[in-house]
Amino acid sequence: MGATSSRPQDTTDALQFEQVLLRLLRFMSSCRDPWCIFGGAALYLHGYREIPVSDIDILITTADAAQMMVSSQVMEDVDGGTDLFRSRFLLHPQLGEIDVELMGGFEIHADGRWHPVTIKTQLALELGAATVPVASLDDTAEIFRLSGREKDLRRLTVIDELRYKTGQSETSPP
C-alpha cells in the first residue's frame, strides 16, 4: 500500500467553476469601473486547489452595484452586516452552481474601526476559457489578515505555500 496524503483533494468542479466565471464575465460586462475576485476563489485561481470553492466573492464599486440593481434587476441583499463585515451593497446574481456575492462598499472591522477593502493590484488569471480579474496574493493576504478569522489565518499559510511553489515575491504575478 502506498502512502496517502493527509491533504484534502480538490473537490471543486473546474468545469462548473469555469462556466460560472464565463457567465460572470458576461454579467459584469456593463461595469464601468474595475471589479475583482478575492477570497477563497482567488486562491483557487492563483493555483491552490486543496480548498473547495464555496462561493465567489467580488469587490465592485458602489456606483456599479447601484447600476446593476437597475439594469440587471438583481435585488440588494444587505442585512446590516455582521460585527466583522459590512457592505453598502450586497448582490447575489444567479449564475450557476456556485454562489456569487458582489460587494460594493465592503468593509472589515479590525483594530476597533471599519477598514474599507480595496484592491491595489489585480491580475488577469485564467481558468479554461475564462480570464478574470483576481486580487493579487498581497491584497488577498491583507484581506485575510484584517478578517482575522481562524480559516482566514490558515489561508495566510496557503499564500506563503503558493509564493514558495511559484517563486513569487509579494508583488510579482504568477
**Greatest Cα pair distance in the chain:** 59
Q: How many domains does the chain have?
A: 1
In a domain, 3, yes or no: no
Does residue 7 fall inside a structural domain? no
89-91 vs 107-110, strand pairing mode: unpaired
Q: Is residue 173 part of a domain?
A: no
CATH number at residue 151: 3.30.460.40
Tens of pLDDT, residues 1-18 = 333 333 344 457 888 999
Q: What is the mean pLDDT of residues 51-65?
A: 94
In a domain, 93, yes or no: yes
Q: State the cell numbers at 26.
A: 458576461
Q: Is there a domain that residue 174 lies in?
A: no
pLDDT digits (tens, 9 = 90+) for 71-130: 887 877 766 678 899 999 999 999 999 999 999 999 999 999 999 999 999 999 999 899
Residue (of 135, 139, 133) closest to 115 by Cα position? 139
Buried b (16+ CB within 10 A) or exposed e, 97-122: ebebbbbbbbbbbeeeeeeebebeeb
Residue 169 lies in a domain: no
